[in-house]
């Protein structure tokens, strides 16, 4: 196998593992969001539709963010502590980018609002990052 084909194969593997890991993190974070009543807000990103639509939108976003995480962390995903640390940092980065900037901007709300909802979102994004990293670790440890 050529070097380029080998690298492409690794990238595809890291990407699909990231998607699966992102969905795992998204499910756990989604449960927290459902308990906080936040899924209807997520549904507003696509014009509304209630908690079910919000949950589906959240999982699609989680899968996409997980894909990128898989590509970024895939080369060391078989080492628990480094990948957990990276997952935590990645989740916190998405809290700033997604929770404090992109989502409020898309919904016409003020950005960088550090209120109770933002703090709960911080915890949720940290949990997302840790769960996604743990899932990526588990997928990376399996024989293919």
One digit per residue, the tens of pLDDT, for the chain of length 144 reads: 678 876 788 899 999 999 999 999 999 999 999 999 999 999 999 998 899 999 999 999 999 999 999 999 999 999 999 999 999 999 999 999 999 999 999 999 999 999 999 999 999 999 999 999 999 999 998 654
d(C-alpha 73, C-alpha 90), whole Å: 10
**Nearest in space to 22 (alpha carbons), one of 144, 128, 106, 116:** 128
pLDDT in tens, 65-103: 999 999 999 999 999 999 999 999 999 999 999 999 999
Question: 126: domain range?
Answer: 2-141
What is the pTM assigned to this prediction?
Answer: 0.93
Using alpha carbons only, what angle is made at residue 84 by residues 60 and 128, rounded to the nearest 5 degrees? 30
How deeply is 79 buried, as exposed, middle or buried, from its count of CB atoms within 10 A (0-12, 13-18, 19+)?
Answer: middle
Looking up tokens 């080492």 gives 79
Q: How many independent structural domains does the chain possess? A: 1
């Amino acid at each position: 196998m050529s070097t380029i084909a080998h690298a492409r194969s690794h990238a595809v593997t890291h990407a699909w593992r990231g998607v699966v890991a992102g969905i795992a993190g998204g499910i756990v974070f989604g449960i927290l969001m459902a308990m906080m009543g936040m899924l209807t807000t997520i549904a507003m990103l696509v014009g509304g539709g209630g908690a079910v639509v919000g949950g589906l939108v959240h999982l699609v976003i989680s899968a996409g963010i997980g894909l990128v995480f898989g590509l970024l962390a895939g080369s060391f995903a078989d080492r628990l502590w480094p990948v957990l640390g990276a997952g935590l940092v990645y989740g916190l980065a998405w809290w700033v980018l997604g929770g404090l900037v992109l989502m409020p901007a898309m919904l016409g709300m003020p950005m960088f609002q550090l209120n109770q909802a933002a703090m709960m979102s911080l915890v949720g994004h940290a949990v997302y990052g840790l769960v996604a990293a743990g899932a990526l670790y588990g997928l990376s440890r399996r024989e293919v």
